[in-house]
Structure 1
């Protein structure tokens, strides 16, 4: 598996908005809140190419993530895989890269997930802890982990 996180350009925004619609559709339909245009606009309204990374697998666009500064922490604002690339372990491989980066900086990562989404189990499995439940979303934190593999 040749996995790469690559920089994004402003020209990628429309394609990523469409990918978000595909990835979010099942979760949003489960809670009766799917709206194609709203799903697109949620990404496009706050799109910042410098915070966005393309997830490429063997040269193909498999998804993207948005990691923004948030006070002294990081916000994983978006993390989507195209449905064709889900359930293959790719999400776990990507989140491990992001977590290692945050750990190296000593940063807390914040993330939100729709309450009925499979993403909740995913984030808990990767060390995030629930901090807040709202009507539609769950919010999690993941504290930086010390590197215990190095000998002092």
Structure 2
């Protein structure tokens, strides 16, 4: 696994995150017939909150991001994107493990916000 670290996000990161989101979600959104070149980026821009977001850097370069947004009853884990060439390297697992351990220590429930009907979403949805 490459040398990686998390750093707090800033508004200066929004375009890099929006581009990565478009790249990572494109295949799933196209398969669902929902890919729109501008909308995929704008939805990220509209909801980007640097205070709840961390940037993943690998060897000092932007490689991904993750947000942990507090809510009344839980923290929402969302916008978890990693550059395709780094997927499967163990970095995402390590990032997730660290965030979940932090929430466990704080006694905070974590909810996952994912694209429904994506191959990565192998869960049930409460109705």
After TM superposition, the score normalised by the length of structure 2 is: 0.89
Q: For the residues of structure 2 that align with 1:34 and 1:89, how far apart are their CA atoms?
A: 28
Q: What SS is found at the alignment partner of 2:67?
A: strand
Equivalence for 1:2: 3
Larger radius of gyration: 1
Query: Gaps spanning 5+ residues in structure 2: where?
Result: none
Equivalence for 1:29: 30
Residues 97-141 of structure 1: CA distance to partner in whole angstroms, max 9, x if unpaired? 1111111111111112223323224xx6xxxxx3437xxxxxxxx
Contact 1:9 1:49 in 2 (8 A): yes
Query: Gaps spanning 5+ residues in structure 1: where?
Result: 125-129, 134-152
Q: For the residues of structure 1 that align with 2:103 and 2:4, how far apart are their CA atoms?
A: 19
Q: Name the structure where strand makes up a greater proportion of residues.
A: 1
Q: What SS is found at the alignment partner of 2:19?
A: helix
Equivalence for 2:126: 132
Contact 1:21 1:40 in 2 (8 A): yes
Matched, 1:112 2:127: no
Q: For the residues of structure 2 that align with 1:113 and 1:48, how far apart are their CA atoms?
A: 17
Measured after TM superposition, the shift of residue 77 of structure 1 is 2.3
Equivalence for 2:88: 87
Q: Report which structure shows greater RCO (CA 8 Å, sep ≥6).
A: 2
Residue-pair matches, total: 126
Pairwise CA RMSD of aligned residues? Answer: 1.6
After TM superposition, the score normalised by the length of structure 1 is: 0.76
Contact 1:63 1:79 in 2 (8 A): yes
Contact 1:30 1:116 in 2 (8 A): no
Matched, 1:12 2:6: no
